[in-house]
Amino acid sequence: MKNSIHILTGLALVITLASCGKTEDKKAEGAAAAPAAAAVPAGDLEEIKLEFPKPMFIGTPVPAELPNLEKADPSKVVKSFQAPKGTVNLAKGKKVSSSDSAPIIGDLTLVTDGDADGADGSFVELMPGKQWVQIDLGAPANIYKIAMWHYHKQAQAYIDVLVQVSDDAEFKTGVTTLFNSDHDDTSALGKGGDPAYVETNHGRVIDAKGTKARYVRLWSNGNTSNDMNHYCEVQVYGTPAK
């Protein structure tokens, strides 16, 4: 009987040790994949007010049918936010690159020109399918919010929208995903739990939680009206990293 008890006790100890080892491995993997977010100094915040372009809906909206499409709620529109003093739009005038180096309409400088208007001549149109644009902030920064406007002249939703940041220009290491509406992993970048949404002149504001990074990359895979990808403006609010 004593021998049986000793054997059972030994097995329990082995299982416990093995379980602890797996837990530490998972912690280590997570630490390697996600850069640490900068601490936001309490009591040293200011209000940042966003400037919105005029509404641009024209014609008959194409019904947006996506399984993860959110129900529009005007009360949830982010018009301003609190951020550490000194926070500005670091993306304005910064260099933009893309998976489509020769856009069909417009040029990449429109993405960071500070103008979110949806009129003709104010947006860039990229090739069909999975495409990205990338902003180089010029130096590592603590990023608090990212505001983005796709084409908002029609009521349509963009598909498989991802927003990622990294210190690696090729996004091979140290990548943090801040927004992901790819519910079925079509883009092979991982499933996301964020909703798809119909574009308006209010765009979409994403919480970056003070993540430190130099590069911002935004993905999309067409929209509910056609296969094209569009950007009117991307603004990255943060402070230089020390």
- What is the predicted pLDDT for the residue at 13? 38
**What pLDDT score was predicted for residue 138?**
98
CA pair distance 21, 154, nearest whole angstrom: 53
pLDDT at 42: 58
Distance CA 208, CA 163 (A): 10
Say what the pLDDT of residue 171 is. Answer: 98
The rounded distance, in Å, linking the Cα atoms of 136 and 214 is 6
Work out whether strand 204-221 and strand 130-149 pair parallel, antiparallel, or are unpaired.
Answer: antiparallel
Angle, CA of 118, 121 and 126, to the nearest 5°: 80
Q: Which residues of the chain fall short of a pLDDT of 50?
A: 1-34
Residue 189 CA to residue 175 CA, distance in Å, equals 11
Residue 111 near residue 133, CB atoms below 8 Å: yes
Start-to-end C-alpha separation, the chain? 64
Length of the chain, in residues: 242
User: What is residue 25's predicted lDDT score, i.e. its pLDDT?
Assistant: 36
Side-chain half-sphere CA neighbours of 95 within 13 A: 9
Cβ-defined contacts of 225-229 (< 8 Å, 24+): 225/62, 225/154, 225/156, 226/128, 227/128, 227/129, 228/104, 228/125, 228/126, 228/127, 228/128, 229/100, 229/125, 229/126, 229/127, 229/128, 229/131, 229/150, 229/158
Taking alpha carbons only, the member of 147, 164, 96, 145 closest to residue 124 is 96
